[in-house]
Amino acid sequence: MVVDDHPMWREGVARDLGDRGYRVVATADGVGAATRRATATTPDVVLMDMELSDGTGATATAAVLAASPRSRVLVLSASAERDDVLDAVKAGASGYLVKSASIEELVDALEATLRGEAVFTPGLAGLVLGEYRRMAAAPPAQQKPGATLTERETEVLRLVAKGLSAKQIATRLTVSHRTVENHVQATLRKLHLANRVELTRYAIEQGLD
């Protein structure tokens, strides 16, 4: 689903993705429309602008994920302002691209988002990790009851916190990409976390970075 308050941009992105084999199940111009259409279509990925007709992209992200918990939100915005990026991530966005990205970069980001990876325009990943480190300066969160990770899961978690992609982790550990994904999914379940962004924050809080 493509959510943007500019009709030409919204339809242009939808058309470009359709031309590349993606099925765009819905488009929307605001928080209300995005929430209703996410409920009806449960999209795999939602491309989200930060300036909408009736609210912010952060508000829409939270509402869409509440309506369709299995969806993943990738922000595509003209803004690279710190507050916008952090608001989007805190609302549950899996990644954040600026609109200067090429269609090839967007497609790569979509595929990474589908794999459950956190994707950011260069420079923004450091901003997000820096904020999590600042938040982690407070007393560390207690590990959730029953969340006992294996040695390999902890090793994968540490590499996720360093910002490595699943493919890079697979190369580093000499295992398959699927094996890494299985470890990540198992860790998410054990820690009751929703996505890799929350996983990264948890790892930093636990001093695994």
Same domain for 150 and 125? no
pLDDT in tens, 141-177: 444 444 578 888 888 888 887 777 778 888 989 888 8
The token duo for 183 is: 């470890």
Q: In whole angstroms, what is the distance from residue 56 CA to residue 73 CA?
A: 14
Instruction: Quote the domain boundaries for residue 109.
Output: 2-132
Look at the chain and report how many structural domains it folds into.
2
Q: What is the pLDDT of residues 114-148, one digit of tens each?
A: 988 888 876 665 555 555 555 555 544 444 444 57
Owner of token pair 């549950």:
92
Query: Per residue in 80-111, pLDDT tens?
Result: 887 888 888 888 888 899 898 899 999 999 99
SS3 12: helix
Indicate the DSSP class of residue 188. Answer: H
- The DSSP symbol for 65 reads H
Q: Is residue 138 part of a domain?
A: no
Buried b (16+ CB within 10 A) or exposed e, 179-207: bbbebbeebbebbebebbbbbbbbbbbbe
